[in-house]
A and B are shown apart, each in its own frame.
Chain A
Amino acid sequence: MTVTVPPLGLVHDPGPIPLLPAPDREIAVLGRTPVGADRDAVVAHLAQASYEVRRRAVQTVHDAGLGHIGGEFSITDVLVTLYLHVMNISPEQVAEGDPERDRVVLSKGHAANALYTVLAVGGYIAPEALRTFMQPESMLNGHPARGKIRAVEANTGPLGHGLPIAVGTAVAAQIDGSPRRTFVLLGDGELQEGSNWEALMTAGHRGLSNLCAVVDRNRLQQGARVADTNDLEPLADKVRAFGWDVVEVDGHDHAALLDAFAGVPAASGRPTFVIARTDKGHPVSYMRDHVAWHHKVPSAEQVTQALAELDALAGGQEEK
């Protein structure tokens, strides 16, 4: 079956391309948090968005037979919080290439499906586009490709690229005297790449207060625990020593993330490093904190179970 995907958000319409099956229900396009909403309403909106994203993302990985669902679930709440509330960004700004938009660089590019799904829930790409994930001729590569989707700022996937790029966008804003901010999302295993430490030095040295790096501290890399591979600790002390402000938060707590991002740009004149404590696979019981779920593909039964768990958690939240 082939259907024409609406070009919304894509750099060009690839024309009829093979599609993955339709999800059990289409993702809700929620957009930004309502203007003037109180904090509880904002947090509820973000929680609803994270639920929508996880629900859709797990089906996409199953249908594509490829993907990195564990790390996508661990970074979902951060992505949702940034795109739907924190950043000065909108689908219109992205479509017009507004130079004053805030930037986000998904350095842990293997979480592309989470990014795409957040872009869908935020109204940046058509929900139907998700059904092209990794299909022939799709704009939705297994790793994000700048030039295919307008909202993607950098080509990522090979690790250790995002932070230097983010430093560059932050320096450009500094040269222009612009208030625009750059957020970069890193995996914790990714911090083993030396280029990050070069960039941490540069950002600290230049006092890039308009830069915020978020490390998705899920403690697992592809093949093993980070601590058993090439340990990062004491991570906060190391990064502070490079001239950054460090904030540690629960990376699945939207309210805590809002507080952490409220400090950007930092009055201290230093860049901000948010250590977001997360779980790979969160919150699905069989995935959570299991290294196998770096790029394991859930079976149909496992998708059903994941959806049931997500629905139950969302129901529980609503009852509160």
Chain B
Amino acid sequence: MSTTALPVPPARTLHDCRDAWAATLIEVAEADPRVVAVVNDSVGSSKLGGFQERFPERTVNVGIAEQDMVGVAAGLANGGKVPFVSAAGCFLTARAMEQIKVDAAYSGYNITLVGQSPGMAYGELGPTHHSIEDLAWLRTIPGMTVVVPADPAETAQAVRWAAAHDGPVYLRISRMGVPDVYPEGYQFVPGRAVTLREGTDVTLIATGTTVSRALDAADLLAARGVQARVLSMPTIKPLDVEAVVAAARETGAIVTVEEALVTGLGGAVAETVVQHHPVPVRFVGMRDEFAITGSAEWLLDHYGISAAGVADTASDLLGR
């Protein structure tokens, strides 16, 4: 396997997508009086201080009580509200899974469950605080839409869309710094992948924080003579089946990239490929293990969820 030094990237401004989330929620709440925020002592970590100041009566903080939090959100929806439940992804999903399934999803409510700082974002705090199972869990719940924005513009659009969408949504928002990855004027369309780079040899399908890493990996691969297509997949469910099948047919090989267990995006892509157009697929992401200790960036590098890791995985798959 060849290794290539990553070309020095242009200076990129990194953003915390929570800023876009918080600003957009205020915007959405100003336009729609039904919008409420439901939190578990997570006003600060969700960056909802401004929202709480602007809408104190519409900020429902139940304290450190996640089952209560999701149940209360369902009750608020029953009472005509449009709740955004915002909490650390690890606790929101794992502790309240039955409430998410029964109270939110089976009810078909317009409830947006905002998993904050998911994946490896709480790197040094260890696997108790990592949320790598959430994509695999949430995509198995009937009727749930799973959205993982990759940059601030997409985050803002996803928040606006979720407020208007009549059904449950899991919105995964990272605190890890991400560059802008979409061109100006980009329009988020649920269920639609975005081709960020054309290529003919392999398709890199990434989501959320890993999209910029996949783009960098495509640069590395280009230096090795491999033309990689890069797809951003902001909606894990419903998946853009058409784009995945086209990638399989046109490039003949796929690598999925996610800051999660590979049974999230990777599982969804694999299910699609085997049904519609079987081609070799490799997965970049967490495997069947709890992570060792390290910062988020360090852990992503360590587990190969990095430009070099993605490029090497693709090279391995292609044999060049």
Contacts and interface: CB of A to CB of B under 8 A. Distances in A.
B76 A168 contact: yes
A161 B65 contact: no
A199 B68 contact: yes
B74 interface: yes
B132 interface: no
Contact of A172 (B68, B70, B79): B79
Interface in A154-187: 154-158, 160-161, 163-173, 175-176, 182
Given A99-B80, A154-B103, A160 B67 contact: yes
B58 A172 contact: no
Given A158-B98, A199-B71, A171 B79 contact: yes
Nearest to A107: B71
A146 interface: yes
A160 B98 CA distance: 10
B107 A198 contact: no
Interface in A190-244: 194-195, 198-199, 201-202, 205
B63 A168 contact: no
A169 B67 contact: no
Nearest to A145: B106
Contacts of B57: 175
Contact of A167 (B36, B71, B108): B71
Interface string B68-84: 11111111111111000
A112 to B, nearest CB: 14
Contacts of B75: 154, 164-172, 182
Given A155-B107, A158-B98, A175-B36, A164 B79 contact: no
A278 B244 CA distance: 59
A253 interface: no
B78 A202 contact: no
A153 interface: yes
The contact size tier of chain B is: 20 to 34
Nearest to A166: B75
Instruction: Determine which residue in A99, A103, A157, A202 has the highest number of CB atoms from chain B within 10 A of its CB, and name it.
Output: A202
B62 interface: yes
Helix, strand, loop or mixed for chain A's interface?
A: helix
A99 B98 CA distance: 27
B70 A175 contact: no
B107 A199 contact: no
Contacts of A103: 78-79
A168 B72 contact: yes
A155 B76 CA distance: 14
A15 interface: no
B99 interface: yes
Contacts of B99: 161, 164, 195
Contact of B76 (A145, A146, A156, A171): A171
Contacts of A99: 79-80
Contacts of B81: 172, 175
B318 interface: no
A170 B74 CA distance: 11
B79 A167 contact: no
A147 interface: yes
Instruction: Determine which residue in B36, B73, B102 has the highest number of CB atoms from chain A within 10 A of its CB, and name it.
Output: B102
B74 A165 contact: yes
Given A146-B107, A158-B98, A164 B68 contact: yes
B67 A202 contact: no
Nearest to B80: A99
Contacts of A164: 67-72, 74-75, 99, 103
A198 B62 contact: yes
B121 interface: no
A255 to B, nearest CB: 30
B28 interface: no
A176 B103 CA distance: 22
A168 B74 CA distance: 7
Interface in A117-161: 145-147, 153-158, 160-161
Nearest to A206: B60
A170 B78 CA distance: 10
Contacts of A157: 102
19 contacts: A146-B106, A157-B102, A158-B102, A161-B98, A161-B102, A161-B103, A164-B68, A164-B69, A164-B72, A165-B71, A167-B75, A168-B78, A171-B60, A172-B75, A172-B80, A198-B62, A199-B65, A199-B71, A202-B68
Interface of A: 99, 103, 145-147, 153-158, 160-161, 163-173, 175-176, 182, 194-195, 198-199, 201-202, 205
Given A164-B71, A165-B72, 4 more contacts: A155-B107, A158-B102, A164-B74, A168-B78
User: 10 nearest interchain CB pairs?
Assistant: A168-B75, A172-B79, A164-B71, A198-B68, A198-B65, A168-B72, A195-B67, A169-B75, A165-B75, A168-B76
